[in-house]
Amino acid sequence: MAAIVNKGSWVQIYQVILPAGQRAPQVPDDTGRVPLELRTKGFLLEDGRPGEEVMITTYTGRRLKGILEEPAPVYQHKFGRPLPELLLIGKELRAILTEGVEDSAG
């Protein structure tokens, strides 16, 4: 049996928003054959175990119900390699903004 996750813990829940076959008619066929799923992170409102239905409060205050998937989830997203063109934008913008301030101060 899975260990109890305590109330107030940061967790991830899973819920099916729309089952397969109930998606909007304009979605592609391959998309319509799978459910619309949601995974959300938040704070557990009552003790629970992975696999059980639980209620959470998200960081923005929404209350959602779903299946407890993971206690203490980590962010695993990656955005790929940095683009050289984007690396200099902050520096260039600072130079432009600073230049405008110096011109108006003179």
pLDDT at 78: 83
Q: Is residue 103 part of a domain?
A: no
Q: Is residue 105 part of a domain?
A: no
Q: Is residue 53 part of a domain?
A: yes
Q: Is residue 2 part of a domain?
A: no
Number of domains in the chain: 1
> How large is the average pLDDT for residues 19-29?
93
pLDDT at 102: 61
Print the domain residue range for 19: 10-76
SS (H, E, C) the chain: CCCCECCCCEEEEEEEEECCCCCCCCCCHHHHCCCEEEEEEEEECCCECCCCEEEEECCCCCEEEEEEEEECCCCCCCCCCCCHHHHCHHHHHHHHHHHHHHHHHC
CA distance 64 to 25: 27
The pTM of the full predicted model, rounded to 2 decimals, is 0.69
Q: Is residue 91 part of a domain?
A: no
10 vs 77, more confident: 10
Q: Is residue 90 part of a domain?
A: no
Q: Is residue 62 part of a domain?
A: yes
Quick one: pLDDT band at residue 22, thresholds 50, 70, 90?
Answer: very high
